[in-house]
Chain A
Amino acid sequence: MEKQIKSTCETCAHYNADGLKKLGLKTDDFDYVIALAGNPNTGKSTVFNSLTGLRQHTGNWPGKTVTRAEGAFEYNKQKFKLVDLPGTYSLLSTSEDEEVARNFILFGKPTVTVIVVDASRLERNLNLVLQILEITNKAVLCLNLMDEAKRNNIEIDTRSLAKDLGIPVVAASARFKEGIPELIQTISELANNKITCKPHKIKSIPVNIEHAVKQLSASIEKEYPTISNSRWIAFRLLEGDVQIIEALKTGKFI
């Protein structure tokens, strides 16, 4: 049963913002793992810093985050461990940073994946978003750099975007701390299953490939009935991803 809400204030992100405690590096015990993914130079590290209170170096050039950074925060008495993944444009290639990001989202099984995108370059950023949505069911889109989008006269219909992607969308300007309370609230609601996602699946696939993917994912589901991302596994198998083949043998991704 859901708790009775006393006033509308309680559902507001700013009302609950008091419950936020930045825990910095104290990541040893936690209730949920949150992954932070996104293209390079979209402000992932800035989002990471404002959630954890850490001061990971940020700068206006792509590729600053060279190692996986971890931090933590507490919200409404629940502890969240946050993992800042290296920025990538895609998850399909063999480069090291893409492998780190891809494998963490698949094998690390984060409770929620936060996808940080550059609002003024949405189309290019969606490439990564759509791939991540094939892997995981629980994700939130952080539409960052809204200030820049506004400056460039770009307007985004966030409600339609959320509907199209099937995940919650939070508009933010992390450098100015805008949208962070809403983001935390959404992460918490996702983690506690108060929001259910129905992520977009890649549609415009040529018929012969779609057919092969269906056939393959059906046979994967037959072997592993609980699996939710059989389509992604099928994609990777068709790509010949050695680590996926290995994982399939050991059942590591379940």
Chain B
Amino acid sequence: MDNNNTEKIIALSKELRWQIGDDFHDNLAESIYADASKIVADVVSKDNEKSKFRLDTKIDKIVTSRIWGFPIMLLILGVVLWLTIVGANYPSAMLSELLLDTIHPLLIKFGANISMPLWLSGFLFNGVYLAVAWVIAVMLPPMAIFFPLFTLLEDFGYLPRVAFNMDALFKKSGAHGKQALTMSMGFGCNAAGVVATRIIDSPRERLIAIITNNFSLCNGRWPTQILLATIFIGAVVPSSFSSFASLTAVIGIAILGVFFMFFFSWALSKTILKGEVSTFNLELPPYRPPVFWKTIYTSLIDRTLIVLWRAIVFAAPAGAVIWLISNVYIGNESIAAWSIHSLDGFGFLLGLNGVILLAYIVAIPANEIVIPTILMLTVMVTGIQVGHGAGVMFELDSVTATADILKAGGWTLLTAINVMLFSLLHNPCSTTIYTIYKETNSLKWTVVASILPVIAGFIITFLFAQIWRIMM
């Protein structure tokens, strides 16, 4: 090809651009609109008589109104949570009956029958198997309820309304309005929320969304909150109010998380991630009746099973580690006991204890196994006679039995509240950390996103413990 000629074309285009002036872009856009409206005038007919009543606008007036917008959001969140909490109980009980009470003893017996060495059967069946079984029994039912409900809301078109309601708050905190969407995704799973931040164009605002996503209480942490709220918070009010009190406490923690998300978005945008807030047009899509069964099916397959599989992959090695630290001795103390004693002092400062801190270190791969690890370690330290022995995670059938163990381990109302706070404010799970690294491609931001919530957790639990001890 002749380079000379193409240069000529480019030169000609420059010259013509001068001639036609600045309005070219606008003129072209206007011509396109003119053509479009001509075509539409010919082919589209609308029965205006019938379409006066637009249901969409009516619904939008209510769900995005200044007065009702936020209460409705809370109500919907409350209903979804309530359905998840109540609905998950029965399948959870059935699964744990099957996996923990039936299959687990069979595996132990099988190990004995083929004269497997004790350490190996302990490692495999009491370590790896139990961790995986626990994650399935505790995590699968709430996920199988929460994700489809969430997807139904998403299909219906409610999520953009949430974003619309919260847009002004995000702008004030220096973040992107679309962060409302990624935040909502985080309530299901933080790793999914981090991936969803791709919808935010500006790198600065996307980083803010990634770093603060962990403040959305994820699915793996809901059960911890619910259990502790039931045992300790439900107990301080008359029994007729106890389930209401525990639900309120759990929602309170979730809202506290949203508050921290705004606070840190604001703090980041004022310090290391300074910059302009980008404007965007959020379009409110029409409401669409969800294709019910298809939505249930795809959300089960796509979200629930994939997240569950990831949790299992991470829980299996964690189970192995828990068993090992409880059964490997240095001198006459197991590694677990030794770590607990060294962490106890720091734990006391935070209104927690060594067991809880160790459990959070071991359970980095999956938040779901925090409670079983705490129970197992508590039994080991206090020496009470329940459970199956050192390094064996277990579940207790009744909430009362769990409460007894925790109280024997020195838990008070303060410990419970601080564990709930720390469960909200600690490092993301390893899956999320890895996802953050993949999305940001930066070690620095991965470290920031992992450390920031823990520091917040230390400060908050420390302050809360000191105030509590002075007041009470």
A residues with CB within 8 A of B: 40-41, 55, 57-64, 66-67, 90, 92, 95-96, 120, 122-124, 126-127, 129-131, 148, 152-158, 160-161, 164-165, 175-176, 200, 202-206, 208-209, 212, 215-216, 219-220, 222-223, 234-235, 237-240, 245, 248-249, 251
Contact = CB atoms under 8 A, between A and B. Distances in A.
A155 B28 contact: no
B20 A212 contact: yes
Q: Which DSSP category, helix, strand, loop or mixed, fits chain B's interface?
A: helix
B35 A204 contact: yes
B45 A123 contact: no
A60 B155 contact: yes
Contacts of B151: 59
Contact of B20 (A92, A96, A200, A209): A209
Given A60-B285, A61-B154, A220-B9, A123 B44 contact: yes
Contact of A96 (B2, B46, B178, B201): B201
Contacts of B27: 205-206, 209
B42 interface: yes
B9 A216 contact: yes
B16 interface: yes
A59 B32 contact: no
Among B5, B12, B39, B46, the one with the most A-chain Cβ atoms within 10 Å of its Cβ is B39
A202 B32 contact: yes
Contact of A55 (B2, B46, B286, B298): B298
A148 B287 CA distance: 10
9 contacts: A41-B285, A122-B40, A129-B36, A153-B48, A156-B45, A209-B27, A237-B13, A238-B20, A249-B6
Nearest to B21: A208
A208 B19 contact: yes
A91 to B, nearest CB: 10
A248 B7 CA distance: 9
Contact of B12 (A96, A219, A239): A219
B283 A126 contact: no
A161 to B, nearest CB: 4
A215 B46 CA distance: 41
Contact of A67 (B13, B40, B198): B198
Contacts of B163: 61
Kindly list the 9 A-B residue pairs having the minimum CB-CB distance in the complex, ordered from nearest: A126-B36, A237-B13, A66-B198, A153-B47, A204-B34, A60-B157, A212-B16, A204-B31, A123-B40
B199 interface: yes
A248 B10 contact: yes
Nearest to A161: B43
Contacts of A212: 16, 19-20
Given A164-B43, A206-B31, A234 B155 contact: no
A220 B35 CA distance: 25
B283 A157 contact: no
Contact of B288 (A127, A148, A161): A148
Contacts of B42: 157, 160, 164
Contacts of A245: 10
Contact of A216 (B13, B155, B160, B201): B13
A62 B288 CA distance: 13
B444 interface: no
Given A131-B32, A212-B20, A216-B12, 12 more contacts: A60-B287, A61-B157, A63-B178, A66-B198, A66-B199, A67-B198, A126-B35, A127-B32, A157-B42, A160-B42, A175-B288, A215-B12
Interface string B120-157: 00000000000000000000000000000001001111
Contacts of B28: 92, 202, 205, 209, 235
Interface string B194-224: 0000110100000000000000000000000
B1 interface: yes
B37 interface: yes
B105 to A, nearest CB: 39
Contacts of B155: 58-60
Contacts of A130: 32, 35-36
Given A219-B12, A223-B6, A248-B10, A60 B154 contact: yes
A238 B9 CA distance: 11
A165 B42 CA distance: 12
B283 A41 contact: yes
Contacts of B283: 40-41, 62
Contacts of A157: 42-45
Contacts of A64: 199
Given A62-B283, A234-B13, A237-B10, A127 B36 contact: yes
Nearest to B48: A153
Interface string B285-303: 1111001000000100110
Contacts of A67: 198
Given A127-B33, A245-B10, A156 B302 contact: no
A92 B25 contact: yes
B332 interface: no
Given A127-B33, A127-B36, A223-B1, A155 B12 contact: no
Contacts of B16: 212, 215-216, 238
B61 interface: no
B46 A153 contact: yes
B29 interface: yes
A223 B8 CA distance: 10
A156 B34 CA distance: 19
Contacts of B1: 223, 251
Contacts of A55: 298, 301-302
B159 interface: yes
A103 to B, nearest CB: 17
A195 to B, nearest CB: 20
B419 to A, nearest CB: 34
A67 B199 CA distance: 10
A208 B19 CA distance: 9
Contacts of B154: 59-61
Nearest to A155: B45
A72 B377 CA distance: 52
Nearest to A148: B286
Nearest to B201: A96
